[in-house]
Structure 1
Amino acid sequence: MAENAEIFYKRQKAFLNIFSLWPSESGYRRTLHQVNCIQGIGFWVLLFDLLVILYILGNLNRMSEVVKAFFVLATSLGVTIKLISIKWYNVELDRLFARLDDEEFRPQGPKERSIFAAACESSRWQRDGYMYISLAALGVILIPQLIFEWSYLPLPLYSPFGEDPRTAGYWIMYTYQFIGETISCLTNIGFDPLCSSLFIFIKCQLDFVAERFKKLDRESEDDGLIGEELRKCIRQHMAVVDLTAEVEKLLTKTISLQVFCTVLVLTANFYGIAVLSNEKMVLFKFIVYQAAMLAQIFIMCYYAGIGNMFQHQLVTEDFYNYQVWYFQILGAWRLPIWATGGQKRSHAFRFGFILVMLFVMLLLFAVELVNNISRIRHILKVFFMFATEMSCMTKLLHLKFRSRNLAHMVEMMKSKTFSTRGKEEIEIMESARRVVIKMRNFYGILSLGTVSLFLIVPFFAGLEELPMTMYEVCNIQGSLCYWLLFVFHCACLLPTCVLNITYDSVAFSLLTFLRVQLQMLVLRLEKLGSEIDPRDNQRIAWELRECASYYNSIVQFKDLVEEFVKVPGSVQLMCSVLVQVSSLYDISTISIANGEGIYMAKTCIYQLMMLWQVFIICYASNEVTTYSSRLCHAIYSSQWTGWSRINRRMILMMMMRFDSPLLLRTLNPTFVFSLEAFGSIVNVSYSYFALLKRVKG
């Protein structure tokens, strides 16, 4: 087992030990170890970072050179963080690697051995594949330039010796860049597959637990033996949870910073591809390097997702966990009662910052509306984003002022009342969990893609306009003013976009969770059996009372969900009408023949996203109403004909209670969230557009 477990970390550990990052023996070896670590990180990494920063500072007036250097700086900073993190936690990581060989993590039986062998093969495959991709990218960056174009250095670093290929200083800097970039590449080859391999190992252990649970059903009939095996499975699962927590503690901060650096690299690459299309060698480097960076972040995210590294013990937390985390970042979610004074001040500052940002955006939109009140098309362009930001402001304020009640809703979800019973209910909950995660990811990708399109479109217009139509506080013809306003637009768009993603996806998740509870109640009502002896009447009476209490809890939870959705959802419906009318009118005035195809694509995609935003709430609410209307039929489908008179009266009262389906109402009590409401929104939007078009015509 020891040799087999080493595949998850041995070679990666060797790559990372180039700088003597791991603990060493005492004596002169330890001294050499420390000297190698200091000179390696200081000369080959920190000095490399400094030279890139000096190059950027010396070329601030040349945007193309800044972009070339920026993607190198972001990568180098990521490598620096990894090396410092490994050195800081080297003892803990060594203990973690040794723990992988513990008896509790060893496979038992041929099935588990085959699972472990498959995990070893996956670890080997992703490690070797990533190594080949990284080395290929390194070769593409450094070698072709030496062969085809060696009049300048391959990387944008400050050179104290100049860039004349006929001097020795040029070749000293070239060698330094070659070695420094190679060391960065090897560091990435060591760290990234190491993280992925640990995620694969955790996934393998979870498969062991699942396999052992399956054996309880197939092999055991003795209750005592089942109880003992069940306790072993629980201990095994707790060991995996503990291992996961340890991996999370040691690696996730570094991975998070790596993700941030990757975003910077990709942004610089996209911009570089747009402005450096005439420099074929540089463009080729950007494309290949971008592919390597995407592979770098993909292997960690993919295997972390498979291993469910961040999944909590309760399945229900997948319905809200990441969204609530972002609400906490914004300062809109209630702090725990034990929060310190510093945490409270930080919480208030974050909320105040995002609130002021939204307020400034709305103010600039309003000023732009007043200044162009006679230009109908311009007004509609402003409304295009003004309505969206109004919706975001409503969501943020609603979260802040209702956070206590909303936190109670989360506590209800985790309560025993809403837990699953039996295999069928577990399957229903698991199916809903997968739907919620897929919808959240799809909606997030769609929204972020739309925002990215908003930010990219100005580059196709020659940087003559900003992503959003709002009042410009200075003349954007100046480069400094334009880029300051562009950064401001980015800083405003991205947090509000993520706020929309989190709020709408958590609303869909809560409504889906409510629908799951109704499905489970339908299942329990249908399974109520017939009377065989007098004791069955007592059991049935107890189950009926339990179902009635369960339904009351569902209604209470429904009221909390309605409170969460009502105000922001109603404002969202009204804003959606404004956005749809503005989008349709804008599309009707755009001419592809005049080179406005990219604007039409942006408008159409944004319109589809806004429709999807409204649709997911209306659809999930409609599902709640549909399943609540099935409760009467479900209890009537039970074998009630042989029950006692008291039980028959009880189900009659329950049927009267179930007769009114659950509805999630808007601010207008006569109007509910449903597919019919979604259809009304579309019809009203088109009617207003047709009227506006006719009046304008």
Structure 2
Amino acid sequence: MEGIVRNSFTLNLTIMKLMGIYPLENHSRLYKVFGYALYIFSIIPGSVLGFLQLFFKGDITGVGYKDLSSVVVIFLSPKLCSMVFAADNVKKCIDYLDEGYFTIKNQNQEQIVTECVQICRRNSVIFLGGCTVSFITWSGTLLYRDDIKQLPLIAWLPFNSQDYSLLHYVLYCSHGFGVAYVAFAAGTVDPLIPGLICHASGQVQILKDNLQHLDDYIDRSDLVYEKIKECIDHYGAIINFVFKYERSFSVVILCQLLESAIVIGICCLQISKLEAYDINLIIMGNYLVFLLIQVYFYCYYGTALVEENNSLINAIYMNRWYEYKKESQKALIILMECSKKPLLITAGRVVDLSLETFTLILKRSYSLLAVLKNY
């Protein structure tokens, strides 16, 4: 890893490599097997048995704060599955940032990239720190259970697992690894995905800077056309990056938004049932706030990318285009026409990643809350 990737996502990618969802430089099929096996052992037992328990229970309104970890594992399992099976595409998308298509020409542009790097590192530390604390807190609650040998997550079994010691310990370890897998995946993947959009927005800002100051960044006036062609190639690289991004993360983002809408509704329902001075109110409230921030980051940076792209025409207009030759003017017109197509990030090609989608999620969560309260 070099450049932007190394400075922004070293911590994220190191943990992802350990989890089998970001291939090594010279990875073999054995690494893929490791990633699949770790996912199956950590996620499948907890999500499948937890889903069966909720299904046979038949009353999702009875899901309490103690069952929240199981609900999160169940709904995040498709998201993490997409990450595991799309690991090669994820690597290609991330490494594309350092393949020489995006270069820094001056100090102003270096400042833009530096700000994006700082944002990504800040978000990564906050998310990973929050998820680590949550996992440690969850682990501590297991020690205060009435039955300490009880499985950490809710699970449907046709028999008592404690009657079979080996099976019980396997399930216990699987549940523990499952929660840890989800916690550290959320702490590394969730800041990574918006961070990549942030860098795409930064590249559009650099492109705008080049277009707005064409005359300042060249030595001779006859080089304007060549500079404009470089800008067109730069814009094409940004579009290509967004295409790779969607192919890698579109399904992942859709799973995250669906999970968020459902879990936010369940959290609000449980908070409405708790007493004002109940410690569990703080636990549920903290998780709800963290979940809202998580979804907001996805939608905020998606909106930022669209707005930066929409202002590209203004940047072109602000240069001295009226002094250029016809071939240069025609090239700028072509670039302006290309920029009219919105640079959108979609979730599963269903909804756009924007602040409007964030409000839509809140509305759907409230609708779910209203249904559950009347259930």
The reply on whether 1:332 has 2:21 as its aligned counterpart is yes
Change (3 A) 1:509 1:624: same
Aligned partners of 2:255 and 2:201: how far apart in 1?
Answer: 24
Q: 1:676 pairs with 356, 359, 363, which one?
A: 356
1:430 maps to which of 109, 114, 120: 114
TM-superposed CA distance for 1:567, in Å, is 0.3
On the 8 A contact 2:65/2:284 being kept in 1, the answer is no
Match of 2:57 in 1: 372
- Structure with the larger RCO, 1 or 2 (CA within 8 Å, 6+ apart): 2
- Does the 8 Å contact 1:387/1:576 carry over to 2? no
CA distance in 2 between counterparts of 1:400 and 1:482 reads 27
SS of aligned partner of 2:215:
coil
The aligned residue for residue 360 of structure 1 is 45
Q: Which residue of 2 aligns with 1:492?
A: 178
Aligned match of 1:619: 300
Per-residue deviation, 1:397: 2.8
CA distance in 2, matches of 1:691, 1:400: 34
Counterparts of 2:264 and 2:290 in 1: how far apart (Å)? 11
- 1:401 pairs with 85, 96, 103, which one? 85
Aligned to 2:370: 690
Q: How does 1:164-179 map to 2 (within 5 A)?
A: none
Q: How many residue pairs are counted as aligned between the two chains?
A: 372
Q: Secondary structure at the match of 1:429?
A: helix
2:139 to 427, 451, 455: 455
Q: Which amino acid aligns with 2:155?
A: M
Q: Structure 1: how far apart are the matches of 2:145 and 2:164?
A: 16
Q: Is the 8 A contact 1:369 1:382 kept in 2?
A: no
1:348 to 33, 36, 39: 33
Q: Residues 350 and 403 of structure 1: is their aligned pair in 2 closer, same or farther, counting only changes over 3 Å?
A: closer
- 1:417 aligned counterpart, secondary structure: coil
Distance change (3 Å), C-alpha of 1:641 and 1:551: same
What residue identity is the alignment partner of 1:427?
Answer: Q
- Assess if the C-alpha contact under 8 Å between 2:267 and 2:288 holds in 1: yes
Q: 2: CA distance between counterparts of 1:323 and 1:371?
A: 38
The gaps in structure 2 that reach 5 residues or longer are none
Structural mapping, 1:499-514, within 5 Å: 499-514=185-200
1:458–1:377 distance in 2 versus 1, CA, 3 Å = farther
| Compared CA separation, residues 520 and 359, structure 1 to 2 (3 A) | same
- Deviations along 1:1-36, one digit per CA (max 9) or x if unpaired, are xxxxxxxxxxxxxxxxxxxxxxxxxxxxxxxxxxxx
Cα distance between partner residues in 2 of 1:500 and 1:387 = 15
Evaluate the alpha carbon distance shift between residue 422 and residue 384 of structure 1 in structure 2; reply closer, same or farther with a 3 A threshold. same
Mapping for residues 511-522 of structure 1, pairs under 5 Å: 511-522=197-208
Asked if 2 retains the 8 angstrom alpha-carbon contact of 1:514 and 1:554, the reply is yes
In structure 2, the residue matched to 1:661 is 342
- The structure-2 alpha-carbon separation of the partners of 1:587 and 1:640, relative to structure 1 and needing over 3 Å to count, comes to same
- Alpha-carbon spacing, 1:480–1:313, altered in 2? closer, same or farther (3 Å): closer
Counterpart AA for 1:353:
L
Which residue is equivalent to 2:263?
Answer: 579
- Give 1:641 deviation, angstroms: 1.7
Q: Is the 8 A contact 1:457 1:467 kept in 2?
A: no
The whole-number CA distance in structure 1 between the counterparts of 2:315 and 2:8 is 27
Superposition pairs of residues 35-50 of structure 1, within 5 angstroms: none
Do the aligned partners of residues 621 and 574 (structure 1) sit closer, same or farther apart at CA in structure 2, a change above 3 Å counting? Answer: same
Question: How far apart are 1:604 and its partner, in Å?
Answer: 1.4
**Which residue in the other structure is 2:281 paired with?**
600
1:609 alignment partner in structure 2: 290
Counterpart pick for 2:103 among 396, 409, 419: 419
Where 2:116 maps in the other structure, the secondary structure is helix
How far apart, in 2, do the equivalents of 1:336 and 1:497 lie? 25
**CA–CA distance in structure 1, aligned partners of residues 105 and 40 of structure 2:** 44
Rg (Cα) greater in structure: 1
- Distance in 2 between the 1:591 and 1:479 partners? 38
Cα offset for 1:657?
Answer: 1.3
Residue in structure 2 matched with residue 548 of structure 1 by the alignment: 232
Q: CA deviation at 1:586?
A: 1.1
Specify whether residues 525 and 566 from structure 1 end up closer, same or farther in structure 2 by C-alpha distance, changes over 3 A only: same
* 1:643 aligned to which of 321, 324, 331: 324
For 1:404 and 1:349, the matched residues in 2 are separated by: 14
380-389 vs 409-418, which moves further: 380-389
- AA matched with 1:688: L
**RMSD in angstroms over aligned alpha carbons?**
3.0
Which of 301, 316, 329 matches 2:5? 316
Deviations 1:550-570 (A, max 9, x none): 100100001111222210111
Q: What per-residue deviation string (whole Å, max 9, x for no partner) do you get for residues 533-581 of structure 1?
A: 9x51x31111111101110010000111122221011111111111011
User: Residue 466 of structure 1 contacts residue 486 of structure 1 at CA under 8 Å; is this kept in 2?
Assistant: yes
Identity %: 19
User: Matches of residues 207-246 of structure 1 in structure 2 within 5 Å?
Assistant: none
SS in 2 for 1:418: coil
- Provide the rounded CA distance (Å) in 1 between the counterparts of 2:96 and 2:30: 28
Alpha-carbon offset, residue 382 of structure 1: 8.6
Aligned counterpart for 1:634 among listed residues 300, 315, 325: 315
Question: What is the aligned counterpart of 2:211 among 506, 521, 525?
Answer: 525
Match of 1:293 in 2: none
How far, CA to CA, are the matches of 2:233 and 2:74 in structure 1? 40
Tell me if structure 2 keeps the 8 A contact 1:324–1:333.
yes
Tell me whether 1:570 sits opposite 2:254 in the alignment. Answer: yes
